Amino acid sequence: MSPCFSLPPIRVLAALACVAAGVVLSGCATTAHVEARQVAPTTGRILTDRELRGAVPGAILGERVYAEVNSAWLPRWYRTYREQLFKIGLTRWDSRFDCNRFADFYSNLAQAFFSLEMFHSNTPAQALALGPFWYVRADGGGSHAIVQAVTERGRIFIDPQTGEEMKLSALEQQSGYVQLF
């Protein structure tokens, strides 16, 4: 009497093992722990232009719908942004590339990466709720340009030259004279 099934020859098993190892080692396979480490740029919350204007009085808005920024994504984004700066040869502040240029580059590059990351998604958001913020320093140090983002923690400010979150006084927040989204 023959068995219900027969074992495949050893060489077939060896070939299958090689194929499986090749897929895993080549990066074609994904695992849950790798995906879990990825931090999304957005929280999934959508902000209309009216809601964003309510959170950021005086904002200049170019879109109708924005994605709330995931604050946990910002440190990861800063590393990517710095890599891009270094790639094109911008390694330090210069009078021809000063704070407002850093704020613009940070914001515009973040918007470009958002567009690429969300290309196949069905989000109605047209942009990240993130952009340059020009204000007058309370310490008399003149004007400065940084980045503001509307996140799950509220409105936060980031220095694009250091990646550090900044605390602005109420007077500094009110002094914002360029607030682009």
Q: Does residue 32 belong to any structural domain of this protein?
A: no
Q: Does residue 143 belong to any structural domain of this protein?
A: yes
Query: For helices 74-87 and 99-117, what crossing angle results, to 10°?
Result: 110
Q: Alpha-carbon distance 18 to 39, whole Å?
A: 32
Q: Does residue 4 belong to any structural domain of this protein?
A: no
Q: Which domain holds residue 60?
A: 39-179
Q: Does residue 34 belong to any structural domain of this protein?
A: no
pLDDT at residue number 26: 45
Q: Does residue 33 belong to any structural domain of this protein?
A: no
User: What domain count does the chain have?
Assistant: 1
What six digits make up the tokens of 71? 């604050």
Q: Does residue 29 belong to any structural domain of this protein?
A: no
For the chain, the helix, strand and coil percentages under 3-state DSSP, each to the nearest 5: 40, 25, 35
Given a cut of 70, whether residue 9 has pLDDT beyond it is: no
Q: Which residues contact 68 (CB under 8 A, 6 or more apart)?
A: 42, 43, 44, 45, 46, 47, 129, 150, 151, 152
Element (H, E) at 132: strand 130-136
This prediction's pTM: 0.77
Read off the CATH number of the domain in which 65 is found.
Answer: 3.30.460.70
Q: Does residue 145 belong to any structural domain of this protein?
A: yes
Q: With 0-12 CB in 10 A as exposed, 13-18 as middle and 19+ as buried, what is 37?
A: exposed
Residues 129-177: pLDDT tens digits? 999 999 999 999 999 999 999 999 999 999 999 999 999 999 999 999 9
Q: Does residue 9 belong to any structural domain of this protein?
A: no
Residues 70-124: pLDDT tens digits? 999 999 999 999 999 999 998 877 888 899 999 999 999 999 999 999 988 999 9
What six digits make up the tokens of 163? 């990646």
Average pLDDT over residues 8-20: 52
More confident residue, 28 or 176: 176
Q: Alpha-carbon distance 23 to 73, whole Å?
A: 29
Coil, helix or strand for 10? helix
